[in-house]
Amino acid sequence: MIEKFIMAGATPMHIADTEKGEKCVVLLHGYLESMLVWDEFVPLLEKELRVVTLDLPGHGISTIAGEVHTMEYLAECVALAMEALGIERYSVVGHSMGGYVALAMCERYSDRLESIVLLSSTTSADSQEKCDRRRREIELIKAGKKNTMARLVPHAGFAPENVKRMKDYIEDIAELILITEDEGVIAILGGMIERKDRGELLRTSGVRHMFIFGRHDYYIPNDIAEEMIASDPTAEVLWLEHSGHMGFYEEPELCARAILDFICR
């Protein structure tokens, strides 16, 4: 992949692009991640698709633009980045928070989207309980205790059966958390608290969409996923039976094949 900085409007963004392929997919990472999480996943896609990855503002080495990074702002950055690359139509795969950004793109840029894959993500807004938890995380960061998050968060992303096998990946994710700037984490948390429910929007958008869930996802329990599936009969669905929240690490070949079959159809 070719790495470079481009201007997404007024926002400098760090991106990587395979630069080959008739159809294109942009992979959007989740909260406390960066485009580095896709390094071993891209080779599973790039023979059939042009693949673009990027650091969403507030993560990786992309810039921090303000005190709150709304999902709408992040969606605009992605759309402008794709514009700058000269790519008019593309699919989006959004992991966790990246899915929230994909949904915001669906609201504002649906004419550019060929399809959306929500990978361990939801269409609903945060519950009050989750908003409160995010506010506690903000206070933790402000208190200089990000290392506590780095110690606890990565393990929770994986199915119990995979924790030992995924030890090196867990350490890599912990390192990503530690090097993410505090202001960026706070801005993203604020944006996630503000986001709205987009289930009805997705259902009526006319954009083809797919849900991929891990059977052992700590963050999206099975009953919540099943409710989301039941409310959207037009969505294609894949359950990763041996995955938690990080299916593209835990069952990469199965995950990639499903994405390719869906996007390339």
Per-residue pLDDT at 67:
87
In the DSSP assignment, the letter for residue 121 is -
What's the pLDDT band for 2 if we cut at 50, 70, 90? Answer: very high
- Residue 60 vs residue 36, higher pLDDT: 36
- The mean pLDDT value for 243-256 works out to 97
Please report, for the chain, the start and end positions of each structural domain, with discontinuous segments joined by +: 2-264
Measured distance CA(261)–CA(265) in Å, rounded = 6
* Domain 2-264, CATH among 3.40.50.1820, 3.30.1360.120, 3.30.70.1060, 3.30.56.10: 3.40.50.1820
Buried b vs exposed e over 53-66: b needs ≥16 C-beta within 10 Å?
bbbbbbbbebbbbe
Per-residue pLDDT at 153:
86
Measured distance CA(81)–CA(88) in Å, rounded = 11
- The mean pLDDT value for 133-160 works out to 90
Per-residue pLDDT at 65:
81
Cα dist. 89→9, 36, 114, 146, 170 in Å? 18, 24, 6, 38, 34
Per-residue pLDDT at 30:
95
Average model confidence (pLDDT) for the chain?
Answer: 94
Per-residue pLDDT at 53:
98
Per-residue pLDDT at 71:
95
Residue range 194-241, pLDDT digits in tens? 999 999 999 999 999 999 999 999 999 999 999 999 999 999 999 999
What's the pLDDT band for 82 if we cut at 50, 70, 90? Answer: very high
Cβ–Cβ < 8 Å for 28, 96:
no
- The mean pLDDT value for 13-32 works out to 95
Per-residue pLDDT at 151:
85
Per-residue pLDDT at 251:
98
Sequence-distant contacts of 3-11: CB under 8 A, at least 24 apart: 6/81, 6/84, 6/85, 7/80, 7/84, 8/76, 8/77, 8/78, 8/80, 8/81, 8/84, 9/76, 9/77, 9/80, 11/57, 11/62, 11/63, 11/65, 11/77, 11/80
- The mean pLDDT value for 51-66 works out to 90
